[in-house]
Amino acid sequence: MNTPANSPVKDRMETLRQALHHHNFLYHVQDNPEISDAEYDRLMQELIALEKAHPELQSPDSPTIRVGAPPLAVFETTAHSLPMLSLDNAFVVQDIIDFDSRVKKTLQIQDAVLYTAEPKMDGVAVELVYEDGKLVMASTRGDGMSGEVITDNVKTIRSVPLQLQVGSIEGRLEVRGEVFMDRRGFDKLNRSREESDLPVFANPRNAAAGSLRQLDSSITAARPLDMFIYGTGLTSGLNSDSHSDVLNRLASMGFKVNPLIHPCLTLDQVLEFYRELEESRSSLSYDIDGMVIKVDSLRYQTMLGEKARSPRWAIAWKFQAIQGTTRIQAIEVQVGRTGVLTPVAHLEPVRIGGVSVSRATLHNEEEIQRKDIRVGDTVFVERAGDVIPKVVKVITEKRDGSEIAFRMPATCPACGSQTIRSSLENSDKLESALRCFNVRCPAQLKENIIHFASKRAVDIEGLGDKLAAQLVDAGLLTSYADIFRLTIEKLLTLSRMGQKSAENLISAIEKSKTIPLNRFLYSLGIRHVGENIADILARKWGNLNTVMQQSPESLSAVEGIGKTIAESIYGFFSNPGNREILDKIQESGVEILSGPAIVHHRLEGKSFVLTGTLPNLTRNQAKDLIEAAGGKVTGAVSRNTTYLVAGEAAGSKLEAARKLGTEIIDESALMKLLAKDGT
């Protein structure tokens, strides 16, 4: 098919190439991206599709046939013995099924192919070169053919061995891995940069890249960098027949290999592990943006070979994005249940992680000033798991002068009372948050009702944000005690409230009238009392009346409860108005179950992973029982896992446990562990 030289298709392809080159440079060289990874992927996929449809318009300098970006001129460069290729991307299940079909077709086999699945680290690819067991050079991926020499900087990373352990091979060994920065280190680094009036990094990946490109290695040494090894380049004497065996060999030499790597998986197990990995993503201490799937057999890898840009034996299955770029349309101030005024950005809707995001928290006025956030700014927005979306960074290059600075109001937007910034405990400084101290502020009451009825608190199904606001505005709720005095007749006075909806809400309220002590304490919305503190109180004193009688001194004597929290708890329960509300709740037939959240400590210090369908317990029930005995439940098997509790149709977690030598038990064995007189 011949396309006219001045066709719209050709113009679009050239526009995409220029844009991708520009964003490659910003991302890989300047460490200062203007668009999110998801937006970059969309541009790249569009160009790939157009080049496939119009091969006559392919260009030798297209970003689709290059990897990364050219090395920085200030660094010495070195050629890679073997190219450091990029990976093709997959976004949906069908992409992985198609990949498996292509592998089998190329290999001309029908039997199942085994894969190794690895978390896709959101870091910087680096190659390490060893001669006779000693580190002699480290370089970035660069353009795939050659990279920047960063040996002195990489030597500052404590997880990178300078001398290999016993079992290393003689001659040359090239290993490849991902340098990254964990979230805690990233947050600490950005806070330090903010205090020094330096620009913050958009994400841990860019912070890691910037740290590796320091001309002064002492700066790199001060950064919290880490490295996981994922493969090799050129080697001499490393004889192995599988990728998973290579990783085991490298681990025995002293290299750090990600403990979440799952070897020898069938296609179905790969699909299940992806779901598990995505579910546990937000609980990890570092960022991952997907899963890498590799054919495990090295013989098969050789037979499959490579394309110009990527190997045919591996693919990267991307998670849905957690970052996106959008524009701040307005900033609104909301009043929370403790009276704190929180600025919230109203955004041009952007899809992040499969969800349309139109609002993001700005935390407080200090945060706005520190990041210089203005109405009209183009910004990076991040959404991780259930965490409220937040503005990470302003893209100042996008400003055109029409942006408007924001200032917090002097009065409460809900009731008009003057706002106050309180003094910090034992300090002359003021806290960051502005507060409204009007106890009758309707905004605080609405937020208290919403919190009280939430799933992790009293759990009243159907009593959400809109209905809570409607009930407060109608005068039917003046405190959360009034919830238990609602009737169908009262509810029917509300607009758009039908008979069936009213009956369902009253039924849900009746079901919620029996509640464990720890959840009830959490539901009260006491300042500084989250789920953890509520559990501590329930474990220590066992019933509501005893908790209410504690002095600030007896409260602060408990491990985990400091002076500030103790005074907050004491202040709440010594307030006559709060006492009256608690009396009304119990008079309404609410039963607050006595007894500690943790019944005994039989499983303290032990870590559990649940998989498959248990015969009598749901996973949540099993989790509650384990945690009530002091144990911990995690989402993925690792070397720190004490037991895997396996039920029917157990998946890849079972295989991972076997590989790691983790003890595998069933529901019956779990119940014996839980028994007070068990061993």
- Would you name the residues annotated as active-site residues? 120
Q: 148 with 77: CB under 8 angstroms?
A: yes
Count the Cβ atoms, other than its own, within 10 Å of residue 554. Answer: 14
Residue 130 phi/psi, 5-degree rounding, is: -115, 140
Q: 229 with 250: CB under 8 angstroms?
A: yes
**3-state secondary structure (DSSP) of residue 242:** strand
Query: Minimal CA–CA distance to 537: which of 594, 452, 480, 615?
Result: 594
Helix (H) or strand (E) holding 271: helix 267-280
**Cα distance between residue 416 and residue 410, in whole Å:** 9
Q: 217 with 157: CB under 8 angstroms?
A: no
482-494 per-residue burial string, b: 16 or more CB within 10 A, e: under 16:
bbbebeeebbeeb
**Cα distance between residue 178 and residue 337, in whole Å:** 43
**Cα distance between residue 164 and residue 179, in whole Å:** 18
Q: What angle do CA 461, 465, 467 make, to 5 degrees?
A: 75
Helices (H), 428-558: 442-453, 465-473, 488-491, 499-511, 517-523, 531-541, 544-548, 552-556
Helices (H), 4-158: 8-24, 37-53, 93-107, 151-154
HEC string for 153-184: HHCCCCCCCCECCCCCCCCEEEEEEEEEECHH
Q: 643 with 664: CB under 8 angstroms?
A: yes
Burial of 518 per CB tally in 10 Å (0-12, 13-18, 19+)? buried
- The tokens describing 407, both together, are 């200032």
**Cα distance between residue 427 and residue 415, in whole Å:** 30
Contacts of 92 (CB under 8 A, 6+ apart): none
Query: Minimal CA–CA distance to 537: which of 25, 528, 283, 47?
Result: 528
**Cα distance between residue 133 and residue 131, in whole Å:** 5
Burial of 604 per CB tally in 10 Å (0-12, 13-18, 19+)? exposed
Distances from the Cα of 449 to the Cα of 305, 438, 461, 504, 521, angstroms: 61, 16, 13, 18, 14
